[in-house]
Amino acid sequence: MARTLFEKIWDAHLVDKAADGAATLYVDRHLVHEVTSPQAFEGLRIAGRSVRRPDATLAVADHNVPTTARAEGIRDPESRLQVETLEANCAEFGVPYFAMDDVRQGIVHIVGPEQGMTQPGMTIVCGDSHTSTHGAFGALAFGIGTSEVEHVLATQTMVQRRPKSMRVTIDGALHPGVAAKDVILAVIGAIGTAGGTGHVIEYAGSVIRGLSMEERMTVCNMSIEAGARAGLIAPDAVTFDYLRGRPLAPGEADFDRAVELWRALPSDPGAAYDREVKLDAAAIAPLVTWGTSPEDVVAIDGVVPDPADARDAGKRAAMERSLAYMDLVPGTLMTEVAVDRVFIGSCTNGRIGDLRAAAAIARGRKVAAGVSAMVVPGSGLVKRQAEEEGLDQVFLDAGFEWREPGCSMCLAMNADRLEPGERCASTSNRNFEGRQGRGGRTHLMGPAMAAAAAITGRLADVRDFNE
């Protein structure tokens, strides 16, 4: 029978299936970070259990780490305790760990792929919702809670009910100036933040085929913002080329055998999905969000929408609340909205390709007066690569800050955060109330768009910069 990519991975990892349909799935790789793991290790300790497969586990601190003055360590005592707790737990349970001064340290979802740990056909979990990022390699990657982290540490399995499948096909050609971030924002705008609930989304179509590995990660990363359990993209030559030679990828002796297995993964012709959505690439413009939900998207040359046009009372109330929080007036041109801060980074857009796209806009220009803009590479290796290419100098010359790697102002657990009322053009993935700091206002967009906003001091159309 014709099977989807999702079904093939699912079937290949079934350890046990209960009569009622609950499946015990084997977990190939487990990524761990400091925020969602302390209580899990504590649970193991109390029950006298060990980590079943330290060799399939990798830990890194990312959420709490400072992005300046690394050598001084972590000032905030609670943040420091959390990172130290992770270090101690990794030492006690034998889990490999990238320390803060290791060049391989970075955001967990950037580190895994970069090391070649993320491979096609795998099941991957992490106590973090953006684990969906790893689906870009054709791996089934779920974000899980801390109790499940403990369960995976102890058993290397997870108990799951089989999600439904959805295919989102994006065919056609993207217009110049339209980035991977716009593609995924368009998908979320189309199906809504609960549109993917209970589903695994497979992204398909000529647009997806044409994306680089990094761009595919941007797309899969925000599957969770569409409510999906996971995102998936069929592996192909782009995937295999990316993986070859990475430290944790199959070595030269095994690589061709691995590729042979990976080639059998893509969905069979005629495989059925529970739901199909199609988007026309030509209809996607550079997008920004106007509200406090990632589904609140609008073309950069559009206007702040009017709650009076909402489809029902619930939606209208939500829009009114968002607009009040965002301090925006319906009908205002998006390009008239002035920003105070710009954040370029996160597991959505903190890879080298993202920094190149932003630097292309920043090169030879200056950050607008009164705007504070920062670039936070997603990992130490991304940072080093950017510096080798001179991108750090491009940013510094333009007046951007150049920081150490970490989650930073994506969620503002460290010192990088918005002040109440500040408005930020951000390449991260969530514009929730208070996400980047209490009272802070977030507009999501791609990296080139964020750089353009830094230069103009307002939300800006990147197409105006391509002279």
3-class DSSP assignment, residue 366: coil
What residues are paired with 169 via a beta bridge? 204, 278
Residue 15 sits in the site that holds another protein (CB under 8 A): yes
Minimal distance, residue 429 CB to another protein, in Å: 9
Minimal distance, residue 434 CB to ligand SF4, in Å: 14
Buried b (16+ CB within 10 A) or exposed e, 214-233: bbbbbbbbbbbbbbbbbbbb
What residues between 294 and 353 interact with another protein by CB under 8 A? Answer: 314-315, 318, 321
Residue 87 sits in the site that holds another protein (CB under 8 A): no
Considering beta carbons, is residue 119 or 429 the nearer one to ligand SF4?
A: 429
Pair 107, 347: CB distance under 8 Å: yes
Tally the C-alpha atoms within 13 A of residue 228's C-alpha that lie toward its C-beta. 32
Considering beta carbons, is residue 13 or 109 the nearer one to ligand SF4?
A: 109
Considering beta carbons, is residue 147 or 466 the nearer one to another protein?
A: 147
Pair 412, 437: CB distance under 8 Å: yes
Q: Report the partner that residue 123 touches, choosing among ligand SF4, another protein, none (CB closer than 5 to 8 A by kind).
A: none
Considering beta carbons, is residue 89 or 428 the nearer one to ligand SF4?
A: 428
Q: Build a one-symbol-per-residue string for 213-252: x at contacts with another protein by CB under 8 A, - elsewhere.
A: -----------x--x-x--------------------xx-
Q: Which residue has the tokens 């999501």?
A: 444
Q: Is the dihedral of CA 115, 219, 426, 77 positive or negative?
A: negative
Minimal distance, residue 91 CB to ligand SF4, in Å: 23
3-class DSSP assignment, residue 64: coil
Considering beta carbons, is residue 67 or 89 the nearer one to ligand SF4?
A: 67
Residue 412 sits in the site that holds another protein (CB under 8 A): yes
Helix ranges restricted to H, 13-145 = 38-47, 77-93, 108-115
Task: Give the C-alpha separation, 229 to 42, whole Å.
Answer: 27
What residues between 25 and 84 interact with another protein by CB under 8 A? Answer: 26, 28, 35-36, 38-39, 42-43, 47, 49, 55-56, 63-64, 76, 78-79, 81-82
Considering beta carbons, is residue 239 or 456 the nearer one to another protein?
A: 239
Considering beta carbons, is residue 105 or 119 the nearer one to another protein?
A: 119
Pair 156, 59: CB distance under 8 Å: no
3-class DSSP assignment, residue 195: coil
Minimal distance, residue 333 CB to ligand SF4, in Å: 29
Q: Report the partner that residue 208 touches, choosing among ligand SF4, another protein, none (CB closer than 5 to 8 A by kind).
A: none
What residues are paired with 142 via a beta bridge? 125
Q: Which residue has the tokens 């967009």?
A: 445
Minimal distance, residue 275 CB to another protein, in Å: 15
3-class DSSP assignment, residue 7: helix
Label each residue of 398-467 as H, E or C. HCCEECCCCCHHHCCCCCCCCCCCCEEEECCCCCCCCCCCCCCEEEECCHHHHHHHHHHCECCCHHHHCC
- Of positions 16, 268, 274, 327, contacts another protein by CB under 8 A: 16
Q: Which of 82, 19, 15 is nearest to 52 (CA)?
A: 15
Tally the C-alpha atoms within 13 A of residue 77's C-alpha that lie toward its C-beta. 0
Q: Which of 152, 33, 146 is nearest to 83 (CA)?
A: 33
Considering beta carbons, is residue 7 or 128 the nearer one to ligand SF4?
A: 128
Helix ranges restricted to H, 327-368 = 346-349, 352-362
- Of positions 147, 206, 332, 466, contacts another protein by CB under 8 A: 147
Q: Which residues contact 97 (CB under 8 A, 6 or more apart)?
A: 58, 59, 60, 86, 87, 90, 91
Q: Report the partner that residue 347 touches, choosing among another protein, ligand SF4, none (CB closer than 5 to 8 A by kind).
A: ligand SF4
Minimal distance, residue 390 CB to another protein, in Å: 34
Q: Report the partner that residue 393 touches, choosing among ligand SF4, another protein, none (CB closer than 5 to 8 A by kind).
A: none
Pair 219, 203: CB distance under 8 Å: yes
Considering beta carbons, is residue 108 or 279 the nearer one to ligand SF4?
A: 108
Q: Report the partner that residue 107 touches, choosing among another protein, ligand SF4, none (CB closer than 5 to 8 A by kind).
A: ligand SF4
Considering beta carbons, is residue 26 or 401 the nearer one to another protein?
A: 26
Considering beta carbons, is residue 7 or 34 the nearer one to ligand SF4?
A: 34
Residue 95 sits in the site that holds another protein (CB under 8 A): no
Q: Report the partner that residue 372 touches, choosing among ligand SF4, another protein, none (CB closer than 5 to 8 A by kind).
A: none
Residue 259 sits in the site that holds another protein (CB under 8 A): no
Q: Report the partner that residue 194 touches, choosing among ligand SF4, another protein, none (CB closer than 5 to 8 A by kind).
A: another protein
Task: Give the C-alpha separation, 126 to 141, whole Å.
Answer: 8
User: Which parts of this chain interact with ligand SF4 (CB under 6 A)?
Assistant: 62-63, 107, 109, 128, 130, 346-347, 407, 410-411, 428-429
- Of positions 157, 165, 239, 348, contacts another protein by CB under 8 A: 157
What residues between 113 and 132 interact with another protein by CB under 8 A? Answer: 127-129
